[in-house]
Amino acid sequence: MMKSGTMAAVIMAAAFSNIIAAKAQDMSHGADNFYQSSTVESQRVSFNNQYKMTVVGNLFIPKGLKPGLKSPAIIVGHPMGAVKEQSSDLYAQKLAEQGFVTLAIDLSFWGESEGRPRNAVLPDMYAEDFSAAADYLGTRPFIDRQRIGVLGICGSGSFVIAAAKIDPRLRAIATVSMYDMGDANRHGLNDSLSLEERQKIIAAAAEQRYVEFSGGKTAYTGGTVHELTADTPPIQREFYDFYRTKRGEFTPKGGNAATTTHPTLSSNVKFMNFYPFNDIATIAPRPMLFISGDQAHSREFSEKAYAQAGEPKELYWVKGAGHVDLYDRVDLIPFAKLTDFFRQNLQ
């Protein structure tokens, strides 16, 4: 006969398992990360950035594009720690359905793009990849190089801003669920990271450099947890539901499922020197659109960027949406708003 204490433990474990099951793989609001459009053609393409590193992307072209027509194009960047198959392919296809040629890229060190060590952080190189994508698109005979826009999701929102400040070929700039990866690493969400805590992170990264320089194992940090526990905080649960379930989980060919989403510990401190919103006003008069869920834990970054940006600019709130909701929930993502923005500004 099972003892009462053991029975209670079993019941609690079962209840917790049910909680995890209920929270994991939430496919509500039309979640469709792996959407495959029937009205666009896709091509895997590759090109070099300015530093001769290969960048790989998925190019989406509307079917029935008239020969000889020069089309507007949009470059789409994935969330930090993700790859093009997570969120950015979805956005790229949905916008291609509206007549744009779109290019979803893997940032250097991630996905199929070149760069070692894998998962390294180098914000300037990430920004360079968007300019390299403009190089590629602007030399295609079917693209109007005067009508190239860019869209950054999550961390890529800050990278496209960094790119646009020094690349006027990016004519219209939009972000969705943006993270300022510099601010997030220096101060934490809502300034929750103390200077002492920041200094400890920097010191740990510096010590790890000795380990790796001496041939030791690469260490990883951040990213999304691989298991839920009773103590897993809500934000991690939100990311887990996308990155660790069939809803959005994806490991690139040759990649390691154990390290997906996790940047290297020794390089992640590079974000502490990353200030994408400095001089953001100099992007004007090119238009900027910032989209965020009004319930998103990351909404502060879109608010800060909007406050500092020059005109024309717009901050658009998606009612009831959280941060990860706008990765793939097609019933919440304001594709019509994005379409109107790019149509008006890539004429």
**Tens place of pLDDT for every residue, the chain, 347 residues?**
445 455 444 444 444 454 444 446 899 999 999 999 999 999 999 999 999 999 999 999 999 888 889 999 999 999 999 999 999 999 999 999 999 999 999 999 999 999 999 999 999 999 999 999 999 999 999 999 999 999 999 999 999 999 999 999 999 999 999 999 999 999 999 999 999 999 999 999 999 999 999 999 999 999 999 999 999 999 999 999 999 999 999 999 999 999 999 999 999 999 999 999 999 999 999 999 999 999 999 999 999 999 999 999 999 999 999 999 999 999 999 999 999 999 999 98
Place of tokens 């006969």: 1
- Compute the residue count for the chain: 347
Work out the end-to-end distance of the chain between its first and last CA atoms, rounded to an integer number of angstroms.
76
What's the token pair of residue 183?
């601010």
User: Which domains, from first to last, does the chain contain?
Assistant: 37-345 (3.40.50.1820)
Quick one: how far is CA 64 from the chain centroid?
30
Contact 1, 59 (CB under 8 A): no
Q: Exposed (0-12), middle (13-18) or buried (19+): which is 303, by Cβ within 10 Å?
A: middle
- How much is the pLDDT for 5? 52
C-alpha 262/C-alpha 252 separation (Å) is 14
CA distance 177 to 156: 10
- Return the HEC string of 284-339: CCCCEEEEEECCCCCHHHHHHHHHHCCCCEEEEEECCCCCCHHHHECCCCCHHHHH
Partner residues linked to 170 by β-bridges: 148
47's tokens: 């090109």
The string of pLDDT tens digits covering residues 125-138 is 999 999 999 999 99
